[in-house]
């Protein structure tokens, strides 16, 4: 039975990766040397870069001594949660990996070019803490190229901003884990699947919007972000998370189609960011001693990503995102970072997070395998974002 179960899981993973890339993706490491449906009104996500000649999200992780593109000690924006070097991470090889698409080279990120092309404009990341991870990464990448620029930062709830004053560029993060609204009614948090007006007021007039949502829909117990769900006037204490996610995303999609002027606003949606709490996913179906990302120092090949159904959650969430986007009149560009991020089991804060106390930082069971170190993987997300914006 165990053999049969393992075989089934492997087949599931083969189908999953065919769904993502249509062919195998392999890791190359240079160590120190070197359907639409038939309705004509339904459209696939539009790549604003040159997708015909470059499959941005299918490729390899390459070891590159010129990385990282900045140092954590020189960036003014990194939260303690993501500052792995400051909190004692002893290894540095995870900083050295560069994403190389299978049939092209990504342009190297240029912070000055970003500011010049975005002069006088606004960028906003909207979503959960993974969006905050990416927001801080973008600030770090730009700041490294313009170290003498006059800046201004405000971190607050629900919107934090960073301004490059010499260029009139404002980059913001809006915390909105579900995108749709949450209200407090008689002391209870009510998630409104059909209402987005409160959050959406912050998005009007922004020149570049990048949305993400995913992790919070599956949280249970003390980490659940709501007490009740309001779906069309009916109140629920629980609901299938994928059903709730799709209904919330369709509310977001209707708002975007009705309110975003695509002639002036560039629109992105970030694919689901995977976590690495189940080491059987990349260890041939057998868990490592720690059972999670703790102690991991190098990426993984897709050929090893077998033996667990845990990533199937991300496949399901990806299906929801793609289905909703496909049905939109004005779909965003989908930054499909799920698979390339799934390979980076080495890039999480693990126990090297400032959110942990000294005792927790010696306990592998407290490892943060959801967020990402800075510098680190979100820099690649932003390199892809930069490529789609300008190339």
Active-site residue (options: 72, 128, 129, 278): 129
Q: Which residues contact 228 (CB under 8 A, 6 or more apart)?
A: 185, 188, 189, 190, 191, 235, 236, 237
Residue 15: asked if its preceding bond is cis (omega within 30°), the reply is no
Active-site residue (options: 133, 230, 346, 368): 368
Active-site residue (options: 143, 315, 371, 379): 371
DSSP helix/strand/coil, 304: helix
List the structure tokens of 41: 């009104």
CA angle 88, 90, 93 (to 5 degrees): 130
Greatest distance between any 2 Cα atoms in the chain: 65
Q: 136, 79 in Cβ contact below 8 A?
A: yes
- The C-alpha atoms of residue 381 and residue 32 are separated, in whole angstroms, by 24
DSSP helix/strand/coil, 288: coil
For the chain, give me the number of helices (H) and strands (E)? Answer: 8, 13
Residue 368 is among the residues annotated as catalytic for this protein: yes
Q: 266, 389 in Cβ contact below 8 A?
A: yes
CB hemisphere CA count around 2 (13 angstroms): 3
Residue 129 is among the residues annotated as catalytic for this protein: yes
Q: What is the DSSP letter of 119?
A: T
Return the active site residues: 129, 368, 371
């Amino acid at each position: 039975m165990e053999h049969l179960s393992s075989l089934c899981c492997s087949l599931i993973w083969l189908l999953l990766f065919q769904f993502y890339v249509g062919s195998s993706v392999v890791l190359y490491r240079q160590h120190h040397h070197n359907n639409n449906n038939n309705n004509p009104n339904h459209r696939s996500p539009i790549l604003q870069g040159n997708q015909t000649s470059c499959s941005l999200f299918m490729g390899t992780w390459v070891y590159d001594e010129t990385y990282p593109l900045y140092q954590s000690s020189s960036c003014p924006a990194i939260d303690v949660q993501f500052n792995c070097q400051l909190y004692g991470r002893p290894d540095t090889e995870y900083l050295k990996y560069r994403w190389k698409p299978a049939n092209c080279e990504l342009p190297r990120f240029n912070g000055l070019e970003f500011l010049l092309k975005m002069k006088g404009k606004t960028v906003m990341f909207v979503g959960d803490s993974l969006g905050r991870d990416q927001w801080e990464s973008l600030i770090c990448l730009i700041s490294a190229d313009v170290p003498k620029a006059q800046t201004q930062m405000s971190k607050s709830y629900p919107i934090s901003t960073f301004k490059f004053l010499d260029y009139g560029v404002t980059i913001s993060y809006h915390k909105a884990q579900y995108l749709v609204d949450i209200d407090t009614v008689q002391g209870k948090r009510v998630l409104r699947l059909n209402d987005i007006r409160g959050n959406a007021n912050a998005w009007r007039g922004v020149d570049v919007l990048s949305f993400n949502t995913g992790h919070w829909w599956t949280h249970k117990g003390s980490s659940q972000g709501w007490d009740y769900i309001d779906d069309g006037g009916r109140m629920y204490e629980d609901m299938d998370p994928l059903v709730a996610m799709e209904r919330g995303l369709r509310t977001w999609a209707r708002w975007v189609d009705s309110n975003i002027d695509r002639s002036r606003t560039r629109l992105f949606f970030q694919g689901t960011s995977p976590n690495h709490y189940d080491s059987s996913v990349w260890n041939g179906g057998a868990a490592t001693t720690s059972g999670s990302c703790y102690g991991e120092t190098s990426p993984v090949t897709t050929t090893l990503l077998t033996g667990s159904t845990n990533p199937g959650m991300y496949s399901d969430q990806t299906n929801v995102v793609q289905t909703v986007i496909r049905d939109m009149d004005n779909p965003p560009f989908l930054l499909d970072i799920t698979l390339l991020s799934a390979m980076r089991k080495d890039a999480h804060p693990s126990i090297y997070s400032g959110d942990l106390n000294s005792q927790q930082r010696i306990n592998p069971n407290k490892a943060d395998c959801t967020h990402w170190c800075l510098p680190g993987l979100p820099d690649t997300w932003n390199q892809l974002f930069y490529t789609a914006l300008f190339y």
